[in-house]
Amino acid sequence: MKTSVIGFPRIGRNRELKFTSEKYFAGKIGEAELLTEGRAQRAFNIKVQKDSGIDLISSNDFSFYDNVLDTAFLFNVIPERYKELGLSVIDTYFAAARGYQGDKGNVKALAMKKWFNTNYHYIVPEIDDSTKIALTGTKPVDEYLEAKELGADTKVLLIGPFTFLKLCRFTGEKGISDFKDALTNEYIALIGKLEEKGCKLVQFDEPYLVRDLDKEDIALFEEIYNKILGKKGSVKVLLQTYFGDIRDIYEKIISLDFDLIGIDLVEGRKSLDLIRKYGFPEDKILVAGLINGKNIWRNDYSKTYEKLEILKGSVSEDRIIVGTSCSLLHVPYTLGSETKLTEDYKKHFSFAEEKLTELKEIASGDEAALNANKEIFKNRIDVLDNDVKERVNAIKKEDYTRLPSFEEREKIQKERLGLPLFPTTTIGSFPQTDDVRKNRKDYRSGLITKEQYIGFNEKKIAECIRLQEELGLDVLVHGEFERNDMVEYFGEHLSGYVFTEKAWVLSYGTRCVKPPIIWGDVSRKEAITVRWSVFAQSCTNKPVKGMLTGPVTILNWSFPREDISLHESTLQIALAIRDEVLDLEKNGIKIIQIDEAALREKLPLRKSDWYSEYLDWAIPAFRLVHSGVAPDTQIHTHMCYSEFTDIIPAIDSMDADVITFEASRSDLLILDALKENNFKTEVGPGVYDIHSPRVPSVEELVSVLTKIRTKTEDKKLWVNPDCGLKTRGITETKASLNNLVEAAKIIRGQ
């Protein structure tokens, strides 16, 4: 059988694109050097896949920031405020992605949201009534020709028009129906240009098809693709779906004139049943998504061959291509960079490069490879802990409920804390400067003693507290200088985790994370944050927040085991974090923030599955973490860069005292949902975007707060940035926070 890869990691084996892009943002290199690095990464990716014998390699899976934003620029879906800056094409692109503040103007970035159920974030395209959709870009054609010169006749990856339209934000009176024809015609024009250059296969990525679809959605999809498929010429079209099954539209899709159809057989719970029930047309090729593109565990060939045998009951073997379940963007680049993991661990893992080998071995039916794979699954080192399992089994119903009621706690806390109206705070982290990173690295490398490491961090914490006092913030944070990452740091202090050196995964733009791996049962080995929080509180009379990452986010931003339920793993983590919460409280910390930034990440894409498969245990797991604290201990949580408007009741039932949200990039749209649902929890909608280098003015922040006040009770409103300040520079951080405090004072004065 042949093999296919939906897409490949673009950041580089050693994050080369990240570092080059950030040099460009800092003005240290020019556009030519940035473009050269982009070509180098594309060429390297093509070579790796070609050398691995992959048959269907994608071009146009590369991006300098985001593929959805690339699609918007390809078809001239560019708000005028960015064009009016008069910048070069690539700088206009980065202005839309990151915001711009300079001699050409001052504009915010476009909104950023989670890419379906992953930790990747896409830039939300924005269409207003004056938008003129037109094929103005050449990126897919250019990158196809570039790959062809390297000896790879690739399939060209395109974000499909249906998914693109469904992800767009329409800011005027017009909607999808007003733009669908123009967009469809421009996709047809693009196929024509690709055909002229010799392209034989185009891959339309349509992940939106795995969501709940109504009759209008299905009619829209059919209308768009009947037009495209009717004018595709000699180009073959692969409809690629992923992140679930296409139960609402499977019958319609197999009746349309697609040449190949890609179906997810990993996350698609009903995919096999759909194929068996409705069959698969003899004039089409099935690209079977059998290799997990989102997790790092080695594929169990025996189970995969079982699926293949079932498939062969409906589809002849010569019409099956073995593929990835989704793009490999969501896994690290290669195990080859891991020098510290022993073979006992490494043999159980598979990153992007290793998944190419798995594809070839499965497609070839290699008997020796199958036997070797069986041996790996027979010999696994486990870290099992009966005490952890017994503790989980002993959880009682009342352990999920905090007493007294929210309203009673609110009165107690206001009297105890004595905070002003519109209290100001930050989300947690402060800039991670070079000296902070060097201190951690030197300590890990044994170049400095533990005492030197602690002494440095305490000095930075004291400086951070002093800075916040000078700025006039009301609730302070310790800055998190000891932390490399909000999940990896906690994983390092929990049993049951395994860590990598260079297993970086792209989160957004150039931002990468290094998820830890859940290897066994999880428990807390020791106090994790108490030392730093207690020291910070000793430096000030103002309240300092204890800063923790919540159990759902720790799970969602780790690579979880595939043989333990997500529910059980989350409860294990929740009990560990509960111990930390109670220790912080015992040591005098009266405000504790438990971040659940990734709450939505594993929320099923179909609403019918939300509660039965996720929220019914994820929300109680958060309540388990804080249910044991006293009424006068204030519990905060934080969430960012996801669509929360449709799960507001569930968020309110987390029973936190204060919730801070990302809101600045989405024009505070979440506030309407909070108001409609009579949201009881105190709320801090982010008043400025920390993922952009621009500094908001006092006037801008006053305007934002004035708008917020029309939708939120004054007594419930907190003032804060929309996320942590780890990636920002110290100068812009000071300026932004100074303006934030001044804006809060002005609003208080009013």
**Tens of pLDDT, residues 111-127:** 999 999 999 999 999 99
- For residues 531, 533, 539, 543, the Cα torsion angle rounded to the nearest 10 degrees is -150
Q: Quote the tokens at residue 412.
A: 């107690």
Does residue 43 belong to any structural domain of this protein?
yes
Q: How far apart are the C-alpha atoms of 644 and 341, rounded to whole Å?
A: 38
- For residues 596, 679, 666, 570, the Cα torsion angle rounded to the nearest 10 degrees is 20
Query: Which CATH number covers residue 713?
Result: 3.20.20.210
Q: Say yes or no: 582 and 631 in one domain.
A: yes
Residue with tokens 């926070």: 737
Residue ending a domain, among 358, 378, 398, is: 378
Q: Say yes or no: 366 and 413 in one domain.
A: no
- Cα→Cα distances 213→162, 209, 218, 481, 732, Å: 12, 7, 7, 46, 44
Q: Where are the alpha helices (DSSP H) in 280-330?
A: 301-311
Across the range 5-31, mean pLDDT stands at 96
Does residue 184 belong to any structural domain of this protein?
yes
| Mean pLDDT score of the chain | 94
Give pLDDT, residue 410. Answer: 94
**Tens of pLDDT, residues 613-661:** 899 999 999 999 999 999 999 999 998 866 777 888 999 999 999 999 8
In the chain, what percentage of residues exceed pLDDT 90? 88
Q: How far apart are the C-alpha atoms of 21 and 192, rounded to whole Å?
A: 32
> Which DSSP letter does residue 86 get?
-
Vertex 322: Cα angle to 557 and 229 (nearest 5): 100
Q: Say yes or no: 199 and 294 in one domain.
A: yes
Three-state SS for 671?
helix
Q: Where are the alpha helices (DSSP H) in 13-170?
A: 16-25, 31-51, 67-74, 80-83, 89-98, 139-149, 161-167
Closest CA to 622 of 605, 638, 641: 638
Does residue 385 belong to any structural domain of this protein?
no
**Tens of pLDDT, residues 524-563:** 989 999 999 999 999 999 999 999 999 999 999 999 988 8
Q: Say yes or no: 213 and 310 in one domain.
A: yes
- For residues 573, 578, 583, 587, the Cα torsion angle rounded to the nearest 10 degrees is 130
Q: Quote the tokens at residue 242.
A: 């992923």
> Which DSSP letter does residue 212 get?
-
Does residue 383 belong to any structural domain of this protein?
no
Does residue 34 belong to any structural domain of this protein?
yes
Q: Say yes or no: 304 and 410 in one domain.
A: no
Looking at the 3D structure of the chain, how many domains does it have?
Answer: 2
Give pLDDT, residue 642. Answer: 62
Q: How far apart are the C-alpha atoms of 600 and 662, rounded to whole Å?
A: 13
Q: Which residues are marked as active site?
A: 691
Neighbours of 129 (CB within 10 A): 12
Q: Say yes or no: 347 and 428 in one domain.
A: no
- For residues 491, 495, 497, 501, the Cα torsion angle rounded to the nearest 10 degrees is 70
Q: Say yes or no: 424 and 318 in one domain.
A: no
- Using the predicted structure, report yes or no on whether residue 383 has a pLDDT greater than 80: no
In the chain, what percentage of residues exceed pLDDT 70? 99
User: Which run of H or E residues covers position 288?
Assistant: strand 285-291
**Cis amide bond preceding 404, omega within 30:** yes
Give pLDDT, residue 690. Answer: 86
Give the DSSP per-residue string, 387-442: HHHHHHHT--GGGG--SS-HHHHHHHHHHHH-PPSS-B---SB----HHHHHHHHH
> Which DSSP letter does residue 615 get?
I
Neighbours of 47 (CB within 10 A): 13
- Using the predicted structure, report yes or no on whether residue 247 has a pLDDT greater than 90: yes
Radius of gyration for the chain, computed over Cα atoms and rounded to the nearest angstrom: 26
Q: How far apart are the C-alpha atoms of 122 and 638, rounded to whole Å?
A: 20
Across the range 413-418, mean pLDDT stands at 95
| 572-595 residues labelled b (16+ CB within 10 A) or e (exposed) | bbbbbbbbbbbbbbeeebbbbbbb
Give pLDDT, residue 641. Answer: 62
**Tens of pLDDT, residues 487-496:** 899 999 999 9
Closest CA to 641 of 666, 622, 671: 666
Three-state SS for 8?
coil
Which residues, 6+ apart, have CB-to-CB distance to 558 below 8 Å?
A: 487, 491, 497, 515, 516, 517, 518
Neighbours of 371 (CB within 10 A): 10
Q: Checking DSSP bridges between strand 236-240 and strand 260-264, what pairing results, if any?
A: parallel
Does residue 310 belong to any structural domain of this protein?
yes
N residues, the chain: 750
Does residue 401 belong to any structural domain of this protein?
no
Three-state SS for 471?
helix
Residue 665: pLDDT band (50, 70, 90) is confident
Residue ending a domain, among 360, 378, 396, is: 378
Long-range CB pairs of 278-283 (<8 Å, 24+ gap) are 278/250, 278/251, 278/254, 279/254, 279/314, 280/254, 280/314, 280/315, 280/319, 281/254, 282/316, 282/319
Three-state SS for 2?
strand
Give pLDDT, residue 534. Answer: 97
Residue ending a domain, among 378, 396, 418, is: 378
Q: Say yes or no: 349 and 444 in one domain.
A: no
Q: Say yes or no: 188 and 311 in one domain.
A: yes
Give pLDDT, residue 645. Answer: 78
- Using the predicted structure, report yes or no on whether residue 611 has a pLDDT greater than 80: yes
Name the amino acid, one letter, at 545.
K
Q: How far apart are the C-alpha atoms of 238 and 286, rounded to whole Å?
A: 9
Residue 224: pLDDT band (50, 70, 90) is very high
- 158 vs 601, more confident: 158
Question: Is 59 in contact with 157 (CB distance < 8 Å)?
Answer: yes
Across the range 388-410, mean pLDDT stands at 95
Does residue 360 belong to any structural domain of this protein?
yes
> Which DSSP letter does residue 380 get?
-
> Which DSSP letter does residue 627 get?
T
Give pLDDT, residue 678. Answer: 87
Question: Is 552 in contact with 622 (CB distance < 8 Å)?
Answer: yes
Q: Say yes or no: 218 and 302 in one domain.
A: yes
- 564 vs 508, more confident: 508
- Domain enclosing residue 371, as ranges: 2-378
Q: Say yes or no: 543 and 581 in one domain.
A: yes
Q: Quote the tokens at residue 585.
A: 């409280």
- Using the predicted structure, report yes or no on whether residue 669 has a pLDDT greater than 80: no
Q: Say yes or no: 20 and 83 in one domain.
A: yes
